[in-house]
Structure 1
Amino acid sequence: MEFSISALLTSFTEDKLVAPKVLEKKLVGEDTLSLRQLQITLDALERVGILTKERGKYRRISEEGVVEGKLRCSSKGFCFAIQEGEEAEDIYIRESQLNTAWNGDRVLVKVTKEGRRRRSPEGEVRLILERANPSVIARVKQVEESYRAVPLDDRLLFELELHPQADGPDLAEAVDQLVHVEILRYPLGSKLPIGQVTQILGSDAQSAADTELVFCKYDLPRDFGADAIAAAQDSPTPLSKSDLKNRLDLQKQFTVVIAEAEDALSEGSYALSLERNKAGQWQLGVHLSDVATYVPTDSALSQGAWQRGTSIRLGKSWVPLLPIPFIEQVGCLPPGEARLAISLLVTLSEAGEVTEFEVQPSAIQVNHRLTYAQTRELLAAEKATTKEQKNLLPLLHHLQTLSQALRERRLQRGSFDLCLPQPVPAIALDEGRIGVPIQAGSIQALVAEFLILANELIIGHLTALGVPTLYRIQSPPDVQDVQDLLKLASNVGATLTLAQEETVQPQDYQAWSQAIQASTVSPVLNEMAVAALPIVQYSQISGPHFGLAQVQAYGQISSPLHRYGDLLNQRVLHAVFAQGRDRRSSRAKERVNLRHSSCHGQINWNVLPPDIHRDLEAAIVAAVPHLNECDQLAQQAEQDLVGLQKTKTMQERTGQVFPGIITGIQSYGFFVRIEGLMVEGLVHVSSLKDDWYEYRSRQQTLIGRKNRRQYRLGDRVEVEVKSVDYYRQQIDLMVVSGGSEATEAELADEDVTDDVLDLDTDGDYEADEDNEFEDED
């Protein structure tokens, strides 16, 4: 089992001594090679002064002025180490101080010069904690009798020495071709890194399949290990009597799965049931596939899922969290087959208010699986025409009614919906990575309300029990991040305001969403509103969730087939089922029902045994940074594929003229969104030949000194597609007509920005000799 120095160092907390055996169990298991690598790493860290050894145990040494960060580099050679804290400064690192670290690497940095005024502090890389580039996309060239690879990413300023492989491509045939290179050895001192060609992609980026480019660029896994595949194929089916022991048997309850499509990967790991009780209240069942029962903590399946962290959806291709044979055999819920589940059984009022609930390990047998299209057709039908429809129609209409009631309650507390012009690839049907339901009125949105409710109630229940829980939190957008949106909306006649000038609240977004839908440029404004939302984060500490307007505990458990975090929370729930203490001590007479909401506020003891509690807590703490990085990578990969597809469309339309709207202004030019295609390109200031244009940052405007023409947010323009860089997804545009005429008041309101940085045509910053620099992003 592989490990990184970053993962190793997270095992050292609060200046405590840690025994090698503890590290072995946590990081490498019993693999002989990995055990040897761990000891070599510990010895090396001791020699460089990161660790100290006392009585056979290790302790991390705290060193002033040494911080951890992730490198973000420029094509000019310099980098910034980005720290995680919101108030932490980015540290500037010159190329000579990188010590073989590359863009994206996680590093320890020694601060060598404090920052002042607008200058960032400077530093040098002390230690590479984790490499971010296990492979690269590069072009092959011949150097005398050998071959080298030059990375296509211009932030990776090095060449790789290529070693031929007996079963690999012929390097002579790969010269001048674009290839995928696996790193065999990173640079050592002055020695070049070494790699091997695993795949020839084509003569250039455009000749390669877009999904192949994304797979290679992000080094996404294509296969599972032999142990994981074997474990998946050995998963027990059908269920035996022993499997049903200590479970609630709900196989006779009428249940339905509503999924995007009929394939196994389309989210089908939940089922819904709904009926009314004698008091006229709703009795809702949200039945989640019990994946945790089949994926033990230390199993090959779990290790493979941990490394991936989340499923990734790339068009019609998937990077699944778990092997497809496992998903088909035990993970999904096909009609007519008994499956293990975790069932949330909720009593609700007519208005969707929760009265009580319980969470039970169960067994279910789904009656029907419907696609979105089938569900829409049934809901649109005036009356049932078949026996199957007679059973389904009442359930679907009840689900639609209750879903709307749940949505109304969510909106009442300040949450909101967003409608995007293009579908967002979804791996799960709750609020997902965006943090808020989308496409209000769709079948996906109908289902989302039930899964959000399940997440909310089960995670809230674990919190009430005081057991370790993996939460999902979302910070509010920074006020500065929504200024372009507010300014653009104002310029096109839509009124978007902040209730409080210094903060963005969910209620602001709720009001905006209504105003945006009435705007003539609603697709543009919707996309900008989504882009301003911070990415949802994992956390071991409960916190607010902006998109759902949740101030209480919130997390996810509804999609264990696609998110490792959901699988972790299922394991916590199973620990409560199996080992939870329902009374303060063995002498206490009164017990509580740990599976029912009636126990909330009644527990003043530790529900789980100390060792179980400690192990789960450690697993969650270790998972938080890893899963956040997995989520970020998945989002980048999915967005990259969409970007490549859009860029390819524009490459085919080079020279054509399109109407668009200005969505961003910078000193080096302005960005134009071509509305019909929802593609964005840059009009560089150097292409504006009719005048000298001044950048006024406060007004977000470029104004001509002589001709009074201005380009401001929301202005409509006609642009010609000048050139397209497919791989970098850069679209250069040239203005044909449009903009607006500045008024006397706008001309008099001078706010000319004298940039400290010079900008080249790619928008890269280049620090001046006085080292007054800032980060582009």
Structure 2
Amino acid sequence: MDRQTILRYIASEADRPMKMKELARALRIDDGSYGRFRRTVKDLIDSGELVYLKRNRIGVAEKLNVAVGIMSITRSGAGFLIREGITPDIIISQTGVGTAFDGDKVMVRLGGKIGDRDAGVVIRVLERATRNIVGVFRKGKALAHVVPDNPRIHRDLYIHPDNSLDARDGEKVVAQLLAWDDPYLNPEGKIVERLGFPGQPGVDMLTVMRAFNLPDEFPRQVLDEAEQAAARLAETDLSERIDLTRECIYTIDPADAKDHDDAVSVEKIPGGYRLGVHIADVSHFVIEGTSLDSEAYRRGNSVYLPGMVVPMLPHVLSSDICSLKPNRKRLAHSASIEFDSKGKMLRWTLFDAVIKSRAKLTYEEVQDYFKSGIRSEGIDKTSENLDIARELAQLLSARRFAEGSLDFDLPEAKIIMNEKGEVIELGHRVRLESHRLVEEFMLAANRAVALELFRAARPALYRVHDKPDMEKLEAFSLMMSRLGHKFPVSPNMKPIQFARFLEGIKDAPEADFINELMLRSMQKAVYQRENIGHFGLAFSHYAHFTSPIRRYPDLVIHRLLKKHRSGEFTAAYAKRIVPHIDHAGQHCSETERNAEAAERQAIRVKQVQYMANHLGEEYDGVISGVTTYGFFVRLGNLGAEGLVRLSAIDDDYYLYDEKNYRVIGRRQKRTFRLGDAIRVGILKVDQTRAEIDLYIPAPPKPAKQKPAIAEKGKKLSRRELRENKRKTKRR
């Protein structure tokens, strides 16, 4: 008996909740099938689609005024129930959160309203987001406890002495949740790992890795398989590949890059251009079904933290055999794409190749050549090709933006550290023309690959970006009107409408801030088999192909392309691969979100470390968020964000005006609004929770001045006095 049949019966035919055996009889389940039926029903209960009621009766969640979703808890302790594909979210008050942690899958009983929004109470935790919690160990006289680093976890974990792992007071630890059934008591846990003390080298990034469940070491079997895979390069029959070793092919990457997974070449042809995008042929070395492949799938992607990388593949592959190093023969999966003289894509071919990169160029190196004609050794080898590449990239960029592709161009945080891992400077990465050149070529290749698989009616793993949700768009439009900008919204808006708006405000002082707000109002790009296009890029077809060293979805695409070209994409293969594509899409979307969150947190940790050495200093910033308890300020070029608490502003009582995204003084009507420029100082930092508290400097007092005194005049002579009298009489 399948899940849908059971759900359909209870939802439409059962006139009341039923016990397990009663339900089995109604569905005519025989004794031999009862065990499997019972397990299916329990799975439905665990997933929240069915609900256990009093006296062991079972009902459908949607008919019983309950909802299932993911719990999102705010710093204040209240939260929201987020349901997939359903808006708005359900508000959960601080007292209604129960024993749920942020990220848990929960069941909520609906009832009442908070403001004009539906509210509910958590009645059951269906699945913990994680049982491991990172925090600071504090030793008490009888019991110890762990103070979680995550400000969204509002309960300390009590630790029995037998479960302390001999941790010392103040040490960073990983605690495993043992039990928490009573919201009136604190949860219990046990220490499973001691990370070291704050300030010790590497402890900060190790803490982030544990908080986001990032793996560190590869299993021994995976390393052994990677070594064996690397040895296959020497055994590969290169005669079956197109030889491009004499072509002018080169890589352009950051100066500190170790994994070079893409190289390019460009040439002029009659009536247009031919672009070559050559991608490391990872699928030749990472074979489906091996332990190496399973580990790459589990990781989903590489994660880039300040000063370190958590790689998807072992070093021998990612930084050596697969990496497109200069002057070395390397296996590539190549796309040769032809464009007309206006940058319109005409045709493409995809093939296995062997290449030899002529130069390892950096973005800065190429930019210096574009801007000032400065020629390095690598530029000397590639300059003629680079000039043509620049022409083509400019054509592709202009065409893409004319068709509505969005370019948020948000500042990216830059952390500069010394050899000890200490932060010595904060700033933003400058986006160069050389960055845009590589981006355009990668976008073109990704688009061609997606079109190839789609036109051949092959199942594929697309990179999709759905159109924005109307409710979020209306909120963004209202926000813009409060900031003095018009952004009318309507159903079925096109990307070009967003692009024109961004073009219109690009010179506004708050342009970066508005770009970020618009990005927040957009849907999240994900991986899935169903192609719905990419709204942000204004592409009807798009997939990820160009980074298989660091993204598993790209590896999936490489394998699908090889099956497609070889004629092995049979009906049987398609049937087998479809579930794998679906699972990979969901899994890799989740690992990507987790990686992005870990990268943001790691940057925040380093920013807070830097600001700890600058207490009392003042900076210019922009108000980036307003809440009931204060407002957040993004600190100019530093990129760090801190909080001005309303309780710290002592010149008035401030009220939160949610509709106008501001706080306003009760007496003096002083206002702090979203997007306002503001001067703030660093009040204090909490390095454990990576938080910065800010203050508003008092305006300078006018210098005290002495009362004005008439200047003492000089003594006049008798003759001068007589002369003055005569002048007075004449008047």
The interval holding the TM-score normalised by the smaller chain is: 0.7 to 0.9
2:531 is matched with 542
Provide Cα deviations, 1:610-654, integer angstroms capped at 9, x if missing partner: 221122210111122222221111111111122222223333333
1:493 is matched with none
| In structure 2, distance between residues paired with 1:77 and 1:708 | 29
- Write the letter of the residue equivalent to 2:525: V
2:390 is matched with 400
Task: Give 1:449 shift.
Answer: 0.3
Matches within 5 A, 1:242-641: 242-244=236-238, 246-261=240-255, 263-265=257-259, 268-277=260-269, 279-380=270-371, 382=373, 389-423=379-413, 441-477=432-468, 478-480=472-474, 482-483=476-477, 486-487=480-481, 490=484, 496-498=485-487, 500=489, 505-550=494-539, 552-580=540-568, 608-641=569-602
Deviates more, 1:133-142 or 1:301-310: 133-142
| In structure 1, distance between residues paired with 2:628 and 2:92 | 23
| In structure 2, distance between residues paired with 1:181 and 1:483 | 43
Q: Does 1:687 align with 2:681?
A: no
Task: Give 1:710 shift.
Answer: 3.0
Task: Give 1:562 shift.
Answer: 0.8
1:654 is matched with 615
| In structure 1, distance between residues paired with 2:221 and 2:121 | 44
Identity across aligned pairs (percent)? 25
TM-score (norm 2): 0.77
Among 170, 173, 185, which residue is 1:177 paired with?
A: 170
Among 694, 701, 704, which residue is 2:665 paired with?
A: 704
SS at match of 2:61: coil
1:63 is matched with 60
Unmatched segments (≥5 aa) in structure 1: 1-10, 18-40, 53-60, 426-437, 491-495, 581-607, 739-777
- Write the letter of the residue equivalent to 2:120: E
SS at match of 2:407: coil
Conserved in 2, the CA contact under 8 Å of 1:205 and 1:726? no
Q: Does 1:122 align with 2:120?
A: yes
Task: Give 1:298 shift.
Answer: 1.4
| In structure 2, distance between residues paired with 1:288 and 1:313 | 20
1:153 is matched with 150
Conserved in 2, the CA contact under 8 Å of 1:651 and 1:724? yes
Task: Give 1:346 shift.
Answer: 1.2
Task: Give 1:92 shift.
Answer: 4.0
Among 669, 686, 691, which residue is 2:630 paired with?
A: 669
Provide Cα deviations, 1:34-79, integer angstroms capped at 9, x if missing partner: xxxxxxx989946847489xxxxxxxx9933375422223577765
Conserved in 2, the CA contact under 8 Å of 1:248 and 1:360? yes
| In structure 1, distance between residues paired with 2:622 and 2:97 | 43
Say if 1:193 and 1:693 are closer, same or farther in 2 by CA, change over 3 A.
Answer: closer
Conserved in 1, the CA contact under 8 Å of 2:3 and 2:40? no
| In structure 2, distance between residues paired with 1:43 and 1:132 | 29
Say if 1:727 and 1:524 are closer, same or farther in 2 by CA, change over 3 A.
Answer: farther
Say if 1:448 and 1:702 are closer, same or farther in 2 by CA, change over 3 A.
Answer: same
Among 199, 222, 227, which residue is 1:228 paired with?
A: 222
| In structure 2, distance between residues paired with 1:451 and 1:349 | 18
Task: Give 1:459 shift.
Answer: 1.0
Provide Cα deviations, 1:456-498, integer angstroms capped at 9, x if missing partner: 11011111111111122224553255358625753xxxxx432
Deviates more, 1:646-655 or 1:72-81: 72-81
| In structure 2, distance between residues paired with 1:411 and 1:369 | 29
Say if 1:111 and 1:526 are closer, same or farther in 2 by CA, change over 3 A.
Answer: closer
2:18 is matched with none
Say if 1:358 and 1:401 are closer, same or farther in 2 by CA, change over 3 A.
Answer: same
Conserved in 1, the CA contact under 8 Å of 2:453 and 2:561? yes
Task: Give 1:676 shift.
Answer: 4.2
Conserved in 2, the CA contact under 8 Å of 1:471 and 1:540? yes
Conserved in 1, the CA contact under 8 Å of 2:230 and 2:316? no
- Write the letter of the residue equivalent to 1:175: R
2:190 is matched with 195
1:718 is matched with 679
1:105 is matched with 104
| In structure 2, distance between residues paired with 1:621 and 1:332 | 29
Larger radius of gyration: 2
| In structure 2, distance between residues paired with 1:441 and 1:241 | 40
Conserved in 2, the CA contact under 8 Å of 1:92 and 1:123? yes
Provide Cα deviations, 1:337-386, integer angstroms capped at 9, x if missing partner: 22222111111112211121111122222222212233234445649797
SS at match of 2:573: helix
| In structure 2, distance between residues paired with 1:442 and 1:393 | 15
Matches within 5 A, 1:87-98: 87=87, 89-90=89-90, 92=92
2:708 is matched with none
Unmatched segments (≥5 aa) in structure 2: 8-34, 47-57, 416-428, 700-731
| In structure 2, distance between residues paired with 1:183 and 1:732 | 30
Task: Give 1:564 shift.
Answer: 1.0
Say if 1:398 and 1:249 are closer, same or farther in 2 by CA, change over 3 A.
Answer: same
Deviates more, 1:83-92 or 1:619-628: 83-92
Count of aligned positions: 640
* Higher normalized helix content (fraction of residues): 2
1:434 is matched with none
SS at match of 1:658: strand
- Write the letter of the residue equivalent to 2:85: G
